[in-house]
Amino acid sequence: MIWSPLDLRSAVFLIAVGNALAATGLTLYRGVTGVSRTYIAARVCQSAGWLLIWQIGNAPLWLNFLVANVVLQFGFALEALAVLSVTRRRPRVEIFYAIWFAVIVAGTAGRYFMPFTAAELNQVNIEASLYAMVTFAVPAALKGRGAAGSRFKRVLAVLYAVFSLSLLARIVMLLSAREPVPLFAPNLVQTFLFVTVFAVLLFATLAYVLLLTERTVQYLQASEESYRVLADDVSVLNQRLREEAIRDPLTGLLNRRYLQESLARDAAIALRSGLPLLVAMLDVDGFKEVNDRGGHEAGDALLCEIARQLSSQVRSSDLACRMGGDEFLVVLRSADPPAALALCERWRASLPGAVTVSIGLAVYRAGEETIEETVRRADAALYEAKRMGRNRVVLADAVAASERAVS
């Protein structure tokens, strides 16, 4: 002999013990591995089935044949179903295995209740091998389909394919045999079959656990990516809310709320640096008449046009805001009074058609007054421009000098 026959009865016992140990280990570490109860139940059933087969000749036929085959085939079906359901439930596959197991039970029970002769032993073993081959051919085909996918899926597909082929080889051997071939007959085909069973137990269990681990890692990576996208969306939303909170919804200019925060910072910088800081207040002349003639739509359109002109005319260092109604405020940073007056005159001259504005301008007196007082002086200069006939720019210092001269 080129090869030494394996004690197949001992091999079956080892397979039964291996399944029991696998079921125990997977149960103890189920929280870590994430193995399904279905897969653990499959290993338990296979362990019980192989133990009953190991006792062939030492126990009643109904136990060695009927119960052993039904339990073992049920374990095979559970394993296939658990492996195929790693990523998602497969209702059609579940229905297939439910029907297929009913066929197995009916066929096995039929053989038991219609006693078979020794001459029919090969036919009985052919049927049992055929049941198992079909059971594992399905996951072999489905897991191996396509070039893409997990390498552990491909390992499972190869293992189940080899197991199915070993069962097919046994069927061919039994069909060609002239004499009954006992289950534990130590020939090459049956030895290869039981070696394959042990390899599937060992390597398929390992591949299944690694497949679950890979799925968990992919899930965590996808969750991390989802959280990152969500965080980006929240950041964008916060930025949008921030913009909406500080922008005037009609004109798009910065609003009074933002102005109050910015003026305090600008005043502090001007106080430390000694750089000039001016505040210009603008008011649309005859705005009430515009609303009366054209309605609020015309008034809104005019305010938007003025805002657009201001945005295009102010320097990048300046700050244009809408105070409310038809009043606007511009903060002029690092501009001396003559330059600021020239800028205000340019704004006034840039307005379309017969639209005019009155502008009051005030210089922030750092260390002598608060920025709020500067805004009030600019507002007073604006009202002086209105009193003087509108459509002009008035400097608050000139107003103060005029008042002192009058007194």
Q: Residue 44 has what pLDDT?
A: 95
Residue 59: pLDDT band by 50, 70, 90 thresholds? confident
pLDDT tens by residue, 161-179:
999 999 999 999 999 988 8
What pLDDT is attached to residue 377?
A: 95
Provide Rg for the chain, Cα atoms: 45
Alpha-carbon distance of 15 to 105, in angstroms, equals 23
- State yes or no: pLDDT of 228 exceeds 50: yes
Torsion, Cα of 217, 223, 227, 232 (10° steps): 90
332 pLDDT more than 80? yes
User: Which whole number is the average pLDDT over 52-66?
Assistant: 81
Task: Say how far apart CA 252 and CA 328 lie, in whole Å.
Answer: 12
Decide: 248 and 300 in contact? Cβ < 8 Å: no
Dig out the tokens for 369 from the structure. Answer: 């007054």
What pLDDT, on a 0 to 100 scale, did the predictor assign at position 115? 66
Residue 126 makes CB contacts below 8 A (sequence gap 6+) with 171, 174, 175
Q: Quick one: average pLDDT of 342-358?
A: 87
What is the Cα–Cα distance from 318 to 321, expressed in whole angstroms?
A: 10
Output the pLDDT for position 4.
45
**How far is the C-alpha of 104 from the C-alpha of 84, rounded, in Å?**
20
pLDDT in the model for residue 147:
44
Q: What is the mean pLDDT of the chain?
A: 86
User: pLDDT tens for residues 235-267?
Assistant: 887 877 777 788 898 999 999 888 888 999 999
| Residue 5 predicted with pLDDT over 60 | no
Strand order in the sheet with 277-284: 319-324, 327-333, 277-284, 357-363, 393-395
Written as one string, the DSSP assignment of 225-243 is HHHHHHHHHHHHHHHHHHH
Please determine, for residue 159, whether its predicted confidence score (pLDDT) is greater than 80: yes
> What is the structure's pLDDT at 145?
62
**Which alpha helices (H) appear in 114-199, and where do they start and end?**
121-143, 151-176, 188-199
Residues 369-383: b if buried by 16+ CB within 10 A, e if exposed: eebeebbbbbbbbbe
pLDDT digits (tens, 9 = 90+) for 280-326: 999 999 898 888 888 989 999 999 999 998 888 888 889 999 998 99
- Distance between terminal CA atoms of the chain? 133
- Specify the range with the lowest mean pLDDT, choosing from 147-151, 184-188, 295-299, 321-325: 147-151
Say what the pLDDT of residue 87 is: 64
Question: Which has the higher per-residue pLDDT, 344 or 186?
Answer: 344
* Cα(257)–Cα(247) distance, integer angstroms: 9
Q: Which of 30-39, 65-74, 300-309 has the lowest mean pLDDT?
A: 30-39
Cα torsion 132, 137, 140, 143 to 10°: value is -110
- Based on the number of CB atoms within 10 Å of its own CB, is 330 exposed (0-12), middle (13-18) or buried (19 or more)? buried
Please give the full DSSP string across 82-136, using - where no structure is assigned. Answer: HHHTSSS--HHHHHHHHHHHHHHHHHHHHHHHS---GGGHHHHHHHHHHHHHHHH
Q: What is the pLDDT of residue 300?
A: 92
What residue has token string 């029991």? 20
Which pLDDT score is estimated for 327? 94
pLDDT at position 391, please?
Answer: 92
pLDDT, tens digit (0-9, with 9 covering 90-100), for 358-401: 999 999 999 899 999 999 999 999 999 999 999 999 999 765 54
Confidence at residue 313, expressed as pLDDT on a 0 to 100 scale: 87
